[in-house]
Amino acid sequence: MARFRAVVISKAGDGPQEVAFSSLDDADLMEGDVTVQVERSTVNYKDGLAITGRAPVVRRFPMVPGVDAAGIVERSASSLFKAGDRVLLNGWGVGETHLGAYAERARWKSDWLLPLPAGFSADEAMAIGTAGYTAMLAVMALERHDIHAGSGPVLVTGAAGGVGSIAVALLGVLGYHVVASTGRAEEAGYLKELGAAEVIDRGSLSGPPKPLAKERFIGAIDAVGGTTLANVLSMIRYGGAVAACGMAGGLDLPGSVAPFILRGVALYGIDSVYAPKSVRLAAWERLDRDLDRARLASAMRRIPFEGVIDAARDIVDGKVRGRLVVEIG
């Protein structure tokens, strides 16, 4: 059997985990009815947590990390796909409980795969990845709450990161007045190129939260969580909404019920990992239609497969801007 390269996280007993490139073959792959030659992946915050071990993302060892993939079907026992089909994968526990995308070959369940949208190259699909697909789900949640362009300013936290960059780009194209929050003042120009009308320092959202603060935003997409989310909720206008999709700032929510019961604010939780196929297809259809390719290109940087471990460490240290595309095959 032909061997292939993969990033493997291993751990012995209660000892620290180790991460390195390894050589695998098909016998090492897990169950599934479709074998994929992986062309491209990306680096999400979750991938960074998995590789660094800073959070218990990996729940099976050894593990190949990587939650996103674009590739070509090599073999299929499913009626949904045939050899040569170009496919896309986001989530479903790959890189956590099932061997993931940081490998030249993978075996997955056909129910997890989507056809690669005709409007996207593999590079573009991975520049979007789980981060961008999550951002689209968050935009759709605000739309269902009847928050549209002209409703008022919409805040995006963690705006220079993966989810934030795509959220700013999407909202900007759709005509929203976007307020981008970042801790990196040097990224203000980049965020305005993506579509932000205003850029604010994240420090204004990091102090002890008040039960209710001045009403500033009709809606928000929060990729941070924790104290930031509590502050954001306190600043939402009457009847507004927040779509929460990140936890880089912590899992706790040290806030008050006041925004919910005194201002009628809604909090939408965005799950991209196990969203049903119909929701995924709708989100990718919207991304194909609404995401400006030039703005996507400005948020994207390619890295070689060999650089993925260092990139994963950088992303949890807040050193990555926008989206990284990993050139695997």
Over 171-230, what HEC string results? HHHCCCCEEEEECCHHHHHHHHHHCCCEEEEHHHHCCCCCCCCCCCEEEEEECCCHHHHH
* Per-residue pLDDT tens digits for 92-146: 999 999 999 999 999 999 999 999 999 899 999 999 999 999 999 999 999 999 9
Q: Is 11 in the same domain as 73?
A: yes
How confident is residue 15, by pLDDT bands cut at 50, 70 and 90?
Answer: confident
User: Is 46 part of any domain?
Assistant: yes
**Are both 135 and 174 inside the same structural domain?**
yes
CATH of the domain at 70: 3.90.180.10
**Domain-located, residue 101:** yes
Q: Is the pLDDT of residue 1 over 80?
A: no
Query: What's the rounded Cα separation, in Å, for the pair 100 and 144?
Result: 33
Q: Is residue 184 part of a domain?
A: yes
String of DSSP letters for 239-294: EEEEEE---TT-S-----SHHHHHS--EEEE---SS--HHHHHHHHHHHHHHS-HH
What's the mean pLDDT in 204-228? 97
- Domain match, 55 and 172 both: no
> Which CATH number does the domain housing residue 231 bear?
3.40.50.720
Same domain? For 110 and 135 the reply is no
Q: Which range of residues forms the domain containing residue 146?
A: 130-269
In a domain, 121, yes or no: no
At residue 12 the predicted structure's pLDDT band, cuts being 50, 70 and 90, is confident
pTM of the model: 0.92
**If you average pLDDT over every residue of the chain, what do you get?**
96
Q: Is the per-residue pLDDT at 224 higher than 90?
A: yes
Examine the domain organization and report whether 170 and 250 are in the same domain.
yes
